Amino acid sequence: MPTSPASCPAQPLPGLAPSAGSPGLSAQALHAQLWRASHLSSNAKPCVSSGFAALDAELPGKGWPTHGLSEILQHTAVHLEWRLLAPALRTLLDEPAQYRPLLLINPPLTPNLPGLQASGLPARQLVWIQADSPQQQLWATEQAIKANAAAAVLAWLPRARPEQIRRLQSHAQASSAPVFLLRPLNVQAQSSAAPLRLALRPGRDWCLHLHILKRRGPCHEGEMRLQALPAGLQQLLTPRMLSQPWPPRPALAPRTETTELRHALARPALTPH
């Protein structure tokens, strides 16, 4: 016999706040999960300060997010990620409570240990994972995120497809460590499930120029200038050197048709026609 509606206990609909006195999320917890597109999200999950006050002010949660991907786009000819991420990575690796590694997956260049140590990143906590094919790179990144045992994950995935990034974002939602995807600038027009996307380029005075392409909040207008000198150069560079464009272009003699290249190592130093 069907039960009358009056005899059925009221059940809260999924996603709605429970009635007073019923178990469930508190009003404060529910409020933290709500945000308007015209305001920065408060980000209920923990965040890690970027080390740049101006950047923190523009990021939801006032720092690099955990439980989600951060995608950093830049030209393939430059490598600015260490200057941008070093302050936050130092904080993560310096936590005395537990020893956790920094995972580097498929970096395009061999990590320079003296340079990373000068940036405050201890070599004993760096784990370099070299994967040859895009499938191996993706698999290694996915396993690193799912393990949730690293202080942070940096993965260089130049050929990842949108559906693959969506899968990584799904796994990253359960990870308490920041996950950074480093990708070329020419994928900017592709869709991405990463909740945070940044475009990065070098500027004068050894500054980093950064534009927030996507965030949980209003559109970011213009570019930010972050003073981020390479480790150890603050005491070495004169004011004149600081005012020069980065990277400096050496003065080269014009190449003529009669120029004879006798050594293979001389070829990259000459400007091609």
Mean pLDDT, the chain, rounded, equals 79
Beta strands in 59-176 (DSSP E): 64-65, 69-74, 102-105, 126-129, 152-156
* 264: in domain: no
Residue 31 clears pLDDT 80, i.e. is over it: no
* Residue 48: domain span: 37-242
Residue 178 clears pLDDT 60, i.e. is over it: yes
Q: What pTM was computed for the model?
A: 0.73
Q: What is the pLDDT of residue 36?
A: 57
Measured between its terminal Cα atoms, the distance across the chain in Å is 89
More confident: 97 or 149: 149
* 183: in domain: yes
Calculate what percentage of the chain has a pLDDT beyond 70.
67
Q: What is the pLDDT of residue 26?
A: 66
The DSSP bridge partners found for residue 129 are: 105
Out of 22-26, 27-31, 54-58, 142-146, least confident range: 22-26
* 18: in domain: no
Average pLDDT of the residues in 222-231? 85
Residue 92 clears pLDDT 70, i.e. is over it: yes
Average pLDDT of the residues in 118-124? 90
Average pLDDT of the residues in 22-48? 61
* 162: in domain: yes
Q: What is the pLDDT of residue 87?
A: 95
Q: What is the pLDDT of residue 229?
A: 78
Domains contained in the chain, number: 1
Residue 99 clears pLDDT 50, i.e. is over it: yes
Confidence tier at 91 by pLDDT (50, 70, 90): very high
Average pLDDT of the residues in 209-217? 93
Confidence tier at 227 by pLDDT (50, 70, 90): confident
Q: What is the pLDDT of residue 151?
A: 96
* 101: in domain: yes
Q: What is the pLDDT of residue 8?
A: 42
Q: What is the pLDDT of residue 21?
A: 45
Per-residue buried b or exposed e for 161-199, using 16+ beta carbons within 10 Å of the residue's own CB:
eeebbebbbebbeebebbbbbbbeeebeeeebbbbbbbb
Q: What is the pLDDT of residue 138?
A: 97
Average pLDDT of the residues in 158-170? 97
Q: What is the pLDDT of residue 142?
A: 98
Average pLDDT of the residues in 203-212? 88
Q: What is the pLDDT of residue 15?
A: 41
* 236: in domain: yes
The 10 Å Cβ neighbour count of residue 75 is 14
Q: What is the pLDDT of residue 220?
A: 85
* 190: in domain: yes
Q: What is the pLDDT of residue 218?
A: 86
We report the CATH number of the domain holding residue 178 as: 3.40.50.300
* 260: in domain: no
d(CA 116, CA 142): 25
Q: What is the pLDDT of residue 273?
A: 41
Which of 273, 240, 257, 208 minimizes the C-alpha distance to 52? 208
